Chain A
Amino acid sequence: MKTDHLIAMLSMNVEPVYRRQVIRTLSAAVAVGAVVAVGIMLFTLGVRMDLKEPGVFSFLASKLIFTLGIVIATSIYLIKLARPSIEQSAPAALATFPFVAIMGLAAISLSSAPISHWNRLIVGNQWLECLISIPVIAIVPFAVIIWALRKTAPTDLVRTGAIAGLFAGGVSATAYALHCIDDSLPFVAVWYGGTIVLCAFFGAKLGPRLLRW
């Protein structure tokens, strides 16, 4: 095929392009992923029953700030990653910030508690449920965000896959937090943080295969 013929073909009947398409597609995927994750949590696990008890709301709020921080930071980062670009390291720090913050708070919480309590603070009641639920609930939001990213042109597929996984883990953990009754910060740092990072790891593995264009 002659390059001139290809150019003639591509320039025939050129359609105007909707410039906000990348942002619109990704925003829709973020919204759908969040609704589906909360829906799965509602139908399978249910919202925690003790919401009206004193103090519970502030525990829940601190968990949600952590998980929503991840969701917001990764969403912004994905809009950058979705466009072809050579350097894109700047917003990476933004996505790690919630993890650094929760680790710091967990460390403070542990250091102010007697060592005999550490086991209870870290292991909590439902670590196994948390370990399984967050990656499982993350599957649908991950599929939705990958579907959206396939309509764009990321050039760093490992990183984009990892951030997509981090996003899905964050959305899933946000939904799971509404159910979970373990409120200690070290528990959140270890089990939430760990499973969300696990999602990012799977995302990084799958990214190059799923996002090629």
Chain B
Amino acid sequence: MTPNEPEFKALMMASLEGDATAHRALLQRLSQRLRAYYKGRLARIERSATEAEDLVQEALIAIHVQRHTYDPAEPLTPWVHAIARYKLIDHLRRTRASMADVPLEDAGQVLAQDDYVSAESAYDLHRLLKQLPEKMRRTIQYVKLDGLSVAEAASRCGMSESAVKVNVHRGLKALVALIALEKRP
């Protein structure tokens, strides 16, 4: 258990209630910890550290899209750790590296050190978005990039509000799938 667990968990609980500020703060703090984790893991198996930022972003999208799978009765750290580790193993498998070298580590390690730089991945969001089906692309553009409310986006797209929400969620999951496809050697 890390000393930040109570703080992170409080942010997560607020984020699950729909608090955007808490959600943003949580993702920001987790991104620093994830970056340190992936840099450490990749260095240990002699992989390039430039892949670390790709993984940080994949893990952040996964944490966002899968946040409904967090059980508030449990601590947050092991949940984040399990996602981070799953994404690392999946990445190594897709890029055909041996994953026998990924040791089971203590859950505390994922959130162990701090390492902040304003970092950038190899992914081009706009190019990825263009590959999405029209409905998903437009709803993500309106709701997640232009900052329109769900109601405004619904009237612009001629959809119901729940259809907009569904398309945003599916679109983000589809982005993850597109990123995975790009990794095929």
Contacts and interface: CB of A to CB of B under 8 A. Distances in A.
Interface of A: 1-19, 21-22, 82-86, 152-153, 155, 212-213
Contact of A152 (B62, B69, B81): B69
A5 B143 contact: no
B19 A14 contact: yes
B145 to A, nearest CB: 6
Nearest to A88: B82
Contact of B27 (A7, A18, A22, A155): A7
A2 B120 contact: yes
B150 A1 contact: no
A63 B23 CA distance: 50
Contacts of B66: 84, 152-153, 213
Contacts of A212: 90, 180
Interface stretch (B2-10, B42-50, B70-78, B95-103): B70-78
**What are the 5 tightest A-B residue pairs by CB atom distance, in nearest-first order?**
A16-B18, A11-B24, A84-B82, A153-B66, A14-B20
Contact of A7 (B28, B71, B143): B28
Given A84-B69, A85-B82, A6 B60 contact: yes
A86 B78 contact: yes
B157 interface: no
B149 A14 contact: no
A212 B58 CA distance: 14
Interface string B141-161: 001110101100000000000
Contacts of B61: 6, 10
B71 A83 contact: yes
A9 B23 contact: no
Contact of B20 (A6, A13, A17, A83): A13
Contacts, number: 117
Interface string B118-147: 111101110000000000000000011101
B17 interface: yes
Given A9-B144, A12-B144, A155-B83, A17 B23 contact: no
12 contacts: A1-B121, A1-B125, A2-B118, A3-B53, A10-B60, A11-B27, A12-B147, A15-B18, A83-B71, A84-B82, A153-B69, A213-B176
B57 A83 contact: no
B83 A84 contact: yes
Contacts of B143: 12-13
A82 B66 CA distance: 11
A17 B67 contact: yes
Interface of B: 15-21, 23-24, 27-28, 31, 53, 56-57, 60-62, 64, 66-72, 78-79, 81-83, 85-86, 90, 104, 107, 118-121, 123-125, 143-145, 147, 149-150, 165, 172-173, 176, 180
Nearest to A13: B143
B150 A17 contact: no
Given A86-B85, A86-B107, 7 more contacts: A1-B124, A3-B119, A8-B24, A13-B20, A14-B18, A85-B78, A153-B86
A35 B153 CA distance: 39
A213 B69 CA distance: 13
B64 to A, nearest CB: 5
Given A7-B28, A212-B90, A213-B62, A12 B120 contact: no
A149 to B, nearest CB: 11
A82 B70 CA distance: 10
A197 B157 CA distance: 49
Contacts of A2: 118-120
B104 A86 contact: yes
